[in-house]
Amino acid sequence: MTDTVGIEALNVYCGTASITVPALFAARGLDPARMANLAMTARSVALPCEDPVTHAVNAARPLLAAIGPEAAARIEVLVTSTESGIDYSKSVASYVHEHLGLSPRCRVVEVKQACYAATAALQLGAGYLASGISPDAKVLVIATDVALVDQDAYYTEPAMGTGAAAVLLSTEPHVLTLDPGAFGLHSFQTLDSARPGPTFDIADSDRSLFAYLDCLSNSFRAYTERVEGADFAETFDYLAFHTPFAGMVRAAHRKMTREFAKDRLAAVDDDFAARVAPALVYPAQVGNLCSGSVYLALASLLDNGDVADGARVGLYSYGSGCAAEFFSGVADADSAAAVGRMRIREQLDARVELEFAEYGDLLPANRLCLVPDPDRRVDVDDHRAILDRYGLRRDLLLYTGTKDYGRTYEWATAGEGSNPWPTS
């Protein structure tokens, strides 16, 4: 048994394109007064030549290049977490395993529990590593999803992102050392949001947001029952939450302060700015990444907060349906350096800012991404104009269609800027 388990490396892929929230509000005729509570600045947009497999591979590949082939060969478990399944039987993970070139001696599996599933996989993977039954093993969890929203989603459209978060777990946790045994759970059945088919979502916003908040209070309460002396105001230097939209996390922080630190209510805005806002910088520029959202929030705080002297981070993961977990870990200067090497800020800044007309042209084809057609051809060259405008130069796996229900992919080079990972 070992107590030192956690996240060794973390990278995200949030697309090559985005649209600003003000541009989307203006074009859709949404009420600009509601932008303040949404607290989002942009949403990432996929191209029709992208899917959950390409997102996952494009998030994980730079991370694997950074650790090198010898360390990558120690990955014994690959888990993809998605609510954007491509088949009832065949997993996203099977294609990801191939295109990442992982060892054939690797467990390959996909998990689903809406926006929570990656955290379930992380905890199960951490337990496997902590058991010590396979010393020096690594577990790769990749949360990957595509958005299906259009004008029918109203105010949810500007809040939905697209992309993936790759989380490498091991007994060398450079990014976040998990606090062993420090977690609290809360789950119950509710139909707050769901994806009943490959082209649409259903959602009841009040049911979902209220369940998110109830689960936050209850999972934190469960955490305090496992962690003696845990205190919402004092225990955590930073908080990184699943972010349906940044304004929701602000409301969640207010609720927690009212319930668990009432004497701090007068200074709630200062506390939010100090402990929560660093984790919202990237989510506000990307949109909801589904089960990758809390790990995008973690990357955001490590890039935008100050953990140099050591910092305990409280994390909250919520998935509709619903399942939730509050857990924690410790970061330090090594964490900031490890995530900094992934150059996530530069990746986000390199996205092509789409005009609304370009954006509107992409949506109908994007909604076909998960439809199980036996044969479909997606021509990468149709999207070359956008790929060429990407602000960094990097290789991307792209989706080229399906043949006899099997998905086809090709590698291509995007952008004309500099390579973000010149040493990898």
Site string for another protein, 15-44 (x = CB under 8 A): -------------------x--xx------
Nearer Cβ to another protein (57/248):
248
Nearer to another protein, 102 or 120 (CB): 120
**407 vs 54, 92, 372, 375, 398, CA distance in Å?**
11, 10, 10, 9, 11
Known catalytic residue at 174: no
In three-state form (DSSP H/G/I as H, E/B as E, the rest C), the secondary structure along the chain is CCCCCEEEEEEEECCCEEEEHHHHHHHHCCCHHHHHHHCCCEEEECCCCCCHHHHHHHHHHHHHHHHCHHHHCCEEEEEEECCCCCCCCCCHHHHHHHHHCCCCCCEEEEECECECHHHHHHHHHHHHHHHCCCCCCEEEEEEEECCCCCHHHHHHHHHECCEEEEEEEECCCCCEEEEEEEEEEEECCCCCEEEEECCEEEECHHHHHHHHHHHHHHHHHHHHHHCCCCCCCCCCCEEEECCCCHHHHHHHHHHHHHHHCHHHHHHHHHHHHHHHHHHHHHHHHHCECHHHHHHHHHHHHHHHCCCCCCEEEEEEEEECCCEEEEEEEEECHHHHHHHHCCCHHHHHHCCEECCHHHHHHHHHHHCCCCCCCCCEECCHHHHHHHHHHCCCCEEEEEEEEEECCEEEEEEEEECCCCCCCCCC
Which candidate in 14, 49, 115, 215 is catalytic? 115
- Sequence-distant (6+) residues with CB within 8 A of 44 are 14, 15, 17, 18, 161, 162, 163, 286, 287, 351
Q: Which two tokens stand for residue 411?
A: 């590698």
Nearer to another protein, 168 or 277 (CB): 277
- The count of residues in the chain is 424
Choose, from 8, 50, 76, 83, the residue flagged as catalytic. 83
Q: Are 100 and 310 in contact (CB under 8 A)?
A: no
186 binds another protein (CB under 8 A): yes
Residue 285: CB minimum distance to another protein, A: 19
Residue 154 touches another protein, criterion: CB under 8 A: no
Binding-site size for another protein (CB under 8 A) equals 27
Of positions 28, 108, 155, 356, contacts another protein by CB under 8 A: 155
Interface pick for another protein out of 70, 206, 263, 373 (rule CB under 8 A): 206
Judged by CB under 8 A, the residue of 255, 312, 345, 393 near another protein is 255
Name the catalytic one among 97, 174, 186, 242: 242
Segment near another protein (CB under 8 A); pick from 188-196, 338-346, 353-361, 363-371: 188-196
Under the binding rule (CB under 8 A), the answer on residue 248 touching another protein is: yes
**Residue 234 annotated to the active site:** no
- Binder among 187, 235, 304, 424 for another protein (CB under 8 A): 187
Stretch near another protein under the rule CB under 8 A, chosen from 112-120, 224-232, 254-262, 361-369: 254-262
Exactly one of 103, 199, 205, 413 binds another protein (CB under 8 A); which one? 205
Q: Which stretch binds another protein (CB under 8 A): 46-54, 77-85, 92-100, 208-216?
A: 208-216
Q: Is 207 in the site for another protein (CB under 8 A)?
A: yes
Question: Is residue 356 at the binding interface for another protein, with CB under 8 A as the rule?
Answer: no
Residue 358 sits in the site that holds another protein (CB under 8 A): no
Please report how close the Cβ of residue 206 comes to another protein at its closest, in angstroms.
4
User: Residue 157 CB, nearest distance to another protein (Å)?
Assistant: 14
Stretch that binds another protein, among 46-54, 106-114, 202-210, 377-385 (CB under 8 A): 202-210
Distance of CA 173 to the CA centre of its chain: 19
Residues in 213-232 at the binding interface with another protein, rule: CB under 8 A? 213-214, 218
Measure the N-to-C terminal CA separation of the chain; round to a whole number of Å.
Answer: 33
- What does the per-residue mask of binding to another protein show for 43-82, with x meaning CB under 8 A? ----------------------------------------
Supply the minimum distance, in Å, between the C-beta of residue 187 and another protein: 7
The answer to whether residue 276 forms part of the interface with another protein (CB under 8 A) is: no
Q: How far is the CB of 409 from another protein (least distance, A)?
A: 38
Does the annotation mark 49 as catalytic? Answer: no
Q: Which two tokens stand for residue 197?
A: 């088919």
Residues acting as catalytic residues:
83, 115, 242
Contacts to another protein by CB under 8 A: 34, 37-38, 155, 186-190, 192, 204-207, 209-211, 213-214, 218, 247-248, 250-251, 254-255, 258
